Structure formats: C-alpha cells, structure tokens
Amino acid sequence: MKKCLFVTLALICLAACNGTDEEGMTLDTTTRNVSNNHSYSEKMRLTKDAVAIKAKHEILSYEEINEVIAVHHDDELFVGFNVKKLEEFNVMDVESKVRKKLNKLFPDEKITVSHDYKILLELNQLIDEDKNLSEKEIEKRLHKIKSLAKEKT
C-alpha cells in the first residue's frame, strides 16, 4: 500500500514538473534573460534613437550578456550591460569585445561602455525620469555617468 502511494505521488510530481505551461505549450528553457524593464523604452527620447536601438541589439547578440541599456544623446552613446554569472570571470574580455564592436559600428560617436552595475542602475534611472528632465539636467546626469564609468573601483 505504501509503495503504491509513493509511486502515485512520484508520478504526480513528475507530471506537475514536465516543462509545460498551463495551456499545454512547452516552455522554452533556453531563452536568454534579457532585460525588458522598459517595454516602453522605444518611445523614450534617449533610447528611441536608431543608434541606441542598433547598439542594444548588437550587444544582445553576445551569449555572455544578460542585460543591456543603451542611451544615445547628441553624439555620445552610453552602454551599460550585465553578464551571466558564469562569465563574470571574463567580464573585462567581454567589455573589450563590446567596445571594439561598437567603435567599429559607430566610428563617429563617443562611446562609453561599462559592465559596472552602478552604470546600469544610473542609466535605468535616467530612462525612468527622462520625460521629467530638462536637456541641461540630462547632460549633467550623463556627465556624471561618464565620470562613474572612468572610476576604477
């Protein structure tokens, strides 16, 4: 009797964890964790620019990268990204590859690239507050981000 109960519970657990969602469709477990914090970001003035959009898509093509925020203002491109946990030991190589790729794609732009999480947070906050900021305030915040990116921690 106990064996029968154990087998029944085991089958129920296996059936519940079979990798399908509620509608019976198979879940894709290989999808990359890409940040979509800003589903509206294409409408924002700092990120709707073709340069920012192209930079974001190019960087997301790297398997090592989890999350990207790209902001284009005047002739400057600011990119913050986060790498997957297993790639944290190679983060400097990834940053170098990203910087080279962006310099090749956008030779006329001043490019600031950083894997530092504080840059990612600052860019994220800037995008969130974009509509409420004046042009002068945006330039001031971007200057602050640029100085943070140059810091060696």
Q: Give the CATH number for residue 89.
A: 3.30.70
Q: Report if residue 115 sits inside a domain.
A: yes
Domain count, the chain: 1
Q: How far apart are the two ends of the chain, measured CA to CA in Å?
A: 63
Mean pLDDT of 10-36: 47
Res 29: pLDDT: 29
Q: Report if residue 136 sits inside a domain.
A: yes
Q: Report if residue 111 sits inside a domain.
A: yes
Q: Report if residue 34 sits inside a domain.
A: no
Asked if pLDDT for residue 1 goes beyond 90, the answer is: no
Q: Report if residue 93 sits inside a domain.
A: yes
Alpha-carbon distance 139 to 123, whole Å? 12
Mean pLDDT of 77-87: 91
Q: Report if residue 16 sits inside a domain.
A: no
Mean pLDDT of 96-123: 93
Res 41: pLDDT: 39
Mean pLDDT of 105-123: 93
Domain carrying residue 86:
41-150
Cβ atoms of residues 69 and 60 within 8 Å: no
Res 7: pLDDT: 65
pLDDT-based confidence at residue 18 (cuts at 50, 70, 90): low
Closest CA to 111 of 126, 100, 122, 120: 100
